[in-house]
Amino acid sequence: MSDGGFDPVIHPPARLQIMAVLAGVHDAEFALLRKIVKVSDSLLSKHLSALVDAGYVSLRKAALDGRQRTWAQITRPGRRAFADHVKALEALAAVVDRMAAE
């Protein structure tokens, strides 16, 4: 994590969207994440790999309907990092709101 609570792993918009989805569910299937984030399979895989490498997301693969499927789940450290990142964004928004009110 970098200074100010912003996490460079989470900060890219696609990763922030992935983390927001995963924070609200038990797990999410790869195809659902692809649809929400609106990226290609390869780009979603790259973003998920970065989150897995940071320890923020775990992946589970299993066969369903005769096809191999992948589900993603946020980890405890990932949930903490996401909450800290959101707090940093909220603090930044509060500064902007105060400046706009002046």
- Give pLDDT, residue 100: 80
Q: Give a yes or no: residue 54 inside a domain.
A: yes
CA atoms within 13 Å, Cβ hemisphere of 76: 0
Q: How far apart are CA 60 and CA 11, in angstroms?
A: 24
The C-alpha R_g of the chain, in whole angstroms, comes to: 15
The pLDDT-based confidence of 99 (bands split at 50, 70, 90) is confident
CATH of residue 9's domain is: 1.10.10.10
% of the chain with per-residue pLDDT over 70:
96
61 lies in some domain? yes
User: Does pLDDT of 11 surpass 50?
Assistant: yes
Question: Does residue 102 belong to any structural domain of this protein?
Answer: no
Domains identified in the chain, total number: 1
Structure tokens, 8? 């460079």
Tens digits of residue pLDDT in 21-57: 999 999 999 999 999 999 999 999 999 999 999 999 9
Q: Can you list the pairs that 82-85 forms with residues at least 24 positions away whose Cβ atoms lie under 8 Å?
A: 82/10, 82/19, 82/20, 82/23, 82/56, 84/1, 84/5, 84/7, 85/5, 85/6, 85/7, 85/10, 85/11, 85/16, 85/19
Is the Cβ–Cβ distance between 54 and 11 less than 8 Å? Answer: no
Structural domain that includes position 83: 3-96
The pTM assigned to this predicted structure is 0.87
For the segment 64-77, what is each residue's pLDDT rounded down to a tens digit?
788 899 999 999 99
